[in-house]
Structure 1
Amino acid sequence: MALSTTIFDPTNAEHLALIPAFADIHIACIETDHTIATFTPPLNRDVIIEWWKAQVADAAGPKRHRIIFMTLVEQQLAGYVILYRPLWQTGPFRGVVEKLLVSPDFRRRGIARNLMDKLEEVARIEGQTLLMLDTETGSPAELVYPKLGYTRLGLIPKYGVCPLDGSLKDETFFWKQL
């Protein structure tokens, strides 16, 4: 399996053509794992595609600094993650990891690690020395982040709405010094 992890380029037509695939992975993770990821059922693919178009526009714009990393396996989008670099004068060294999602079709192949390695490499180059992230308590992702060197900070009870049943779920927060 040949992995190709790259930074999404909002000026590249081939990359822009992948926006529906970003939405499809987003939907698959919500439907398969009941991942708390922005949307709840019933899921509207067109709405999620528009959301991703806004993320891409945000990544290209000057207001916020987002870097979208994507992994392709045999020319098919397998997963992605976002590095959000807030333009804070008091914390230019902090970054936030957002939306690490891997297609259920490509799991257990090292894609999450590959994406996070690339994200951390770029974060270091960009001057981020502290990364923060959160994930649903009890989710498979909660077990992944410590394996990648992230330290559990704690949890906030009843933080997000579960797409499965609308119940409120706890969220666990992590950090890592690079």
Structure 2
Amino acid sequence: MIDNLTVRRIGPDEAAIYAEALADVLVDCVEGGASVSFMLPLSREKALAFWRGVAEGVARGERALLVAEDRDGQVLGTVQMIMLQPDNQPHRADIAKMLVSRKSRRQGIAQRLMAAAEEVAREEGKTVLVLDTVTGGDAERLYERAGWQRVGAVPKYALMPDGAFCETTFYYKHV
């Protein structure tokens, strides 16, 4: 476990400031084989552009952005909640980009991020959360231990960063 780990929601004024640190985490995860919408090689510029876009979404109130930081303020992980949904789904949000740097894994950070995301969901009046993850990956165990319900899997839904197909499993949770 990481001593003095802080997990918190980043406000609109801070989101852009965190783009650099979040880009480091994203590049690290993709280089480690995480299927999180990006292909290898992932340039720092592309990662920064992604996080700047996320910051704009946070500023518009479309996303909630959470980070896990160590006592020195180093970002070790992050997760997002996409709150902007169609008119007939105001009660739902999508969990996206659960990322923990490779050197910080297996220390409870992802579990703390998910618990914090669920709390933010409740604060925002979201009662149904959905997410997807690579079938057979470590994240499946995390979500199932946290009470997420498996809906099903779609073969060849996405690509791994190296271009290989991967199956994706979908989950939901009522909070």
Q: Name the TM-score class by shorter chain.
A: over 0.9
Query: In structure 2, how many angstroms separate the alpha carbons of the residues matched to 1:92 and 1:52?
Result: 25
Structure 2, unmatched stretches of 5+, are none
The TM-score with structure 2 as length reference comes to 0.93
The answer on whether the counterparts of 2:84 and 2:93 sit within 8 Å (CA) in structure 1 is yes
Code of the residue aligned with 2:58 in structure 1: it is: A
SS of the aligned residue for 1:11 comes to: helix
Code of the residue aligned with 2:95 in structure 1: it is: V
Shift of 1:88: 2.5
SS of the aligned residue for 2:90 comes to: coil
Give percent identity, aligned residues only. Answer: 34
SS of the aligned residue for 2:141 comes to: helix
Code of the residue aligned with 1:17 in structure 2: it is: I
Shift of 1:10: 2.8
CA deviations over 1:138-161 (Å, ceiling 9, x no partner) = 111112110111011000110111
The equivalent of 2:74 in structure 1 is: 76
SS of the aligned residue for 1:78 comes to: strand
CA deviations over 1:42-94 (Å, ceiling 9, x no partner) = 221111111110111111125xx100001111211010000111243211111
Query: In structure 2, how many angstroms separate the alpha carbons of the residues matched to 1:87 and 1:140?
Result: 28
CA deviations over 1:12-58 (Å, ceiling 9, x no partner) = 3xx533211111111111111x1111211122111111111011111
Query: In structure 1, how many angstroms separate the alpha carbons of the residues matched to 2:83 and 2:18?
Result: 23
Query: In structure 2, how many angstroms separate the alpha carbons of the residues matched to 1:110 and 1:162?
Result: 24
SS of the aligned residue for 1:145 comes to: helix
Shift of 1:167: 1.7
The equivalent of 1:168 in structure 2 is: 165
Show structure 1 runs of 4+ deviating over 2 A: 15-18, 86-89
Structure 1, unmatched stretches of 5+, are none
What do you get for the CA RMSD once the two structures are aligned? 1.3
The equivalent of 1:31 in structure 2 is: 31
**How many residues get paired?**
172
The answer on whether the counterparts of 2:155 and 2:166 sit within 8 Å (CA) in structure 1 is yes
For the pair 1:107 / 2:105, whether they are aligned, the reply is yes
Code of the residue aligned with 2:169 in structure 1: it is: T
CA deviations over 1:95-121 (Å, ceiling 9, x no partner) = 110001011121122111111111101
